[in-house]
Amino acid sequence: MTRKYFRAHDDSLTSERKPLYQDSRIKVDYLPNAIEDHELITDDGDGPYLILQRGILEQCARTSRDRFPELIERITNFTFTPSLNESGLTLDSIHVAICQAYMEQERRYNEFRLNIRR
């Protein structure tokens, strides 16, 4: 079973599906109209915005805290961190949000697989 199949069915489970991660300033969820891409929105769209292409959410989540700044700079071509600093958010808070989103995605996927087998 592919994750594309999961994504198509995950969206149809409820019209009010919760984002993969959301707190008062950061939201991480699937990119609308994309099968395996994600978006990171800060400050309800008024702050820095980041598209995480397929596989990047997992790569960021599996990256150690000390290596995350280097990875995010490479991914964003050195454009994300300056705007992040202006908004008052930290790379640590972004890393935690991405890790939590990845864990939630994996939890949903495993739950979906268990339901298919029944």
Residue of 42, 12, 28 whose CA lies nearest to 103: 28
pLDDT at 35: 83
Task: Convert the pLDDT of each residue in 8-51 to its tens digit.
Answer: 556 544 446 899 999 999 999 999 988 889 999 999 999 999 99
Extract the tokens encoding 100: 């939590």
pLDDT at 104: 96
The string of DSSP letters for 52-112 reads: E-TTHHHHHHHS-TTTHHHHHHHHHTT-HHHHHHHHT--HHHHHHHHHHHHHHHHHHHHHH
Which residues span the domain enclosing 42? 3-117
User: Does 74 score more than 80 pLDDT?
Assistant: yes
Distance CA 109, CA 16 (A): 17
Note the pTM of the prediction, 2 decimals: 0.84
User: Among all chains, which residue has been given the structure tokens 């697989």?
Assistant: 113
Number of structural domains the chain divides into: 1
